[in-house]
């Protein structure tokens, strides 16, 4: 029985839950009004981004928004030429930078948000380039009952072609489904807007600042929505190793967020509980469920059904291990490969968090 329950929970989180949302989406009762254009500050924590920061500032100046936006850059212990690049690119007082000792992204965002005076704030990363109308599309979605609006991150390769992987397309699909209910489960740090007054200071040691900020606002009772027309673009990771490293850090951050967002696990708030557990918590438990399934199959190997399950799991993991060394993954094995990759990264993130080896300070990938 335990074997079947664990197997069901994995299938439910990854396959059944999206189907449930797709079926319920046309009947979503929640209807949202139109957002209002308000003054906005773009907030960005920066660490050693001398190669990209000037482009980020030029991109900011190209944004089209009825109320001239502001850009606050927080230099988190930069030891390269980031400051010089900023000073060379700044045209007017709308762009301001603030220098801080190395303290990590979360604490830098805390310090920057204390300086924000506009009704809206937009969080972003140094390497995220907005389409010209991105701020306007976010504001149009910020209805009265909405606290956070997530934009759409488009991943491109070095030639500008789409670099979106299977997992990224899957997550984007879920955001579209959840948007109908005002229950998008977490923003992406590349582009999201929030009501500045709802920002809650992040605790020390926070790893996933984007997830923690947005979900804390949702936990308070405000809707979180998705604006697919608000686009930011980033260069995709160049290898599976880059993707794995990103998922390891994200995994550690998610397990830490379980404590920070413990109020989301209140079953007396059934809508939030349903979305959070279905989309997030069960998925974070999947690596442990997979290990338990394999152990149970080994312990009950003498029984035909469990022997078959053992061979199926062993074949899957063996094929994934072999495929890992191929530059081009066979189409038939892409889904199991990325499924195992993501869950392996989650498990590695959990181990790093528990052993104190996951730092909360952020180090950008080499560009």
pLDDT in tens, 167-186: 788 899 999 999 999 999 99
Q: Are 331 and 230 in contact (CB under 8 A)?
A: no
Confidence check: pLDDT of 120 > 70: yes
Q: To the nearest whole number, what is the mean pLDDT of the chain? A: 91
Q: 320: how many CB neighbours lie within 10 A of its CB?
A: 18
Contacts of 181 by beta carbon, 8 Å cutoff, 6+ apart: 21, 24, 28, 30, 271, 275
Mean pLDDT of 73-78: 96
Question: What pLDDT does residue 26 have?
Answer: 85
Question: What pLDDT does residue 158 have?
Answer: 54
Question: What pLDDT does residue 163 have?
Answer: 45
Which CATH number applies to 32-236: 3.40.50.720, 3.20.19.10, 3.90.550.10, 3.40.50.300?
Answer: 3.90.550.10
Q: pLDDT digits over 186-205, tens only?
A: 999 999 999 999 999 999 98
Question: What pLDDT does residue 167 have?
Answer: 77
Strand order in the sheet with 120-124: 95-100, 70-76, 40-46, 120-124, 191-195, 146-156, 223-235, 129-130
Confidence check: pLDDT of 79 > 60: yes
Domain boundaries, the chain: 2-15+279-354, 32-236
Confidence of residue 33 (pLDDT cuts 50, 70, 90): confident
Confidence of residue 360 (pLDDT cuts 50, 70, 90): low
Q: pLDDT digits over 299-310, tens only?
A: 999 999 999 999
Q: pLDDT digits over 273-326, tens only?
A: 999 999 999 999 999 999 999 999 999 999 999 999 999 999 999 988 888 777
Confidence of residue 71 (pLDDT cuts 50, 70, 90): very high
Question: What pLDDT does residue 363 have?
Answer: 63
- Helix, strand or coil for residue 221? coil
Q: What are phi and psi of 158, to 5 degrees?
A: -65, -15
Question: What pLDDT does residue 244 have?
Answer: 83
Tokens of 136: 């306007």
Confidence check: pLDDT of 365 > 80: no
Confidence check: pLDDT of 164 > 60: no
Confidence check: pLDDT of 267 > 80: yes
Q: Are 80 and 50 in contact (CB under 8 A)?
A: yes
Confidence check: pLDDT of 162 > 90: no
């Amino acid at each position: 029985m335990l074997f079947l329950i664990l197997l069901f929970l994995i299938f439910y989180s990854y396959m059944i839950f999206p189907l449930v949302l797709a079926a319920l989406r046309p009947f979503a009762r929640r209807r949202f009004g139109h957002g209002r254009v308000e003054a906005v500050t773009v907030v960005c924590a920066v660490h050693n981004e001398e190669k990209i920061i000037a482009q980020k500032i030029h991109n900011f100046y190209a944004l089209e928004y009825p109320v001239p936006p502001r850009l606050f850059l927080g230099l988190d212990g930069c030891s390269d030429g980031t400051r010089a690049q900023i000073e060379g690119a700044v045209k007017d007082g709308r762009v301001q930078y603030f220098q801080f000792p190395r303290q990590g992204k979360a604490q830098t965002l805390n310090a920057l948000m204390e300086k924000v005076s506009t009704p809206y704030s937009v969080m972003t990363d140094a390497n995220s380039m907005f389409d010209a109308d991105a701020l306007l599309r976010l504001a149009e979605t910020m209805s009265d009952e909405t606290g956070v609006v997530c934009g759409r991150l488009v991943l491109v390769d070095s030639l500008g072609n789409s670099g979106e992987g299977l997992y990224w397309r899957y997550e984007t699909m879920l955001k579209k489904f959840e948007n109908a209910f005002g229950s998008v489960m977490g923003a992406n740090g590349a582009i999201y807007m929030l009501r500045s007054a709802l920002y809650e200071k992040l605790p020390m040691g926070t790893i996933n600042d984007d997830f923690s900020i947005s979900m804390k606002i949702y936990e308070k009772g405000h809707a979180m929505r998705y604006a697919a027309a608000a686009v930011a673009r980033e260069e995709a990771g160049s290898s599976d190793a880059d993707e794995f490293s990103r998922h390891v850090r994200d995994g550690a951050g998610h397990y830490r967020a379980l404590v920070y967002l413990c109020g989301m696990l209140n079953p007396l708030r059934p809508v939030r509980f349903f979305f959070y557990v279905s989309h997030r918590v069960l998925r974070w438990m999947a690596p442990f469920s997979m290990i338990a399934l394999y152990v149970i199959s080994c312990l009950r190997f003498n029984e035909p059904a469990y022997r078959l399950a053992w061979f199926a799991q062993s074949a899957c993991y063996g094929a994934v291990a072999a495929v890992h060394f191929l530059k081009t993954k066979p189409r038939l094995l892409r889904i199991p490969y990325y499924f195992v990759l993501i869950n392996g990264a989650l498990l590695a993130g959990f181990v790093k968090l528990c052993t104190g080896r996951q730092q909360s300070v952020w180090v950008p990938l080499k560009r």
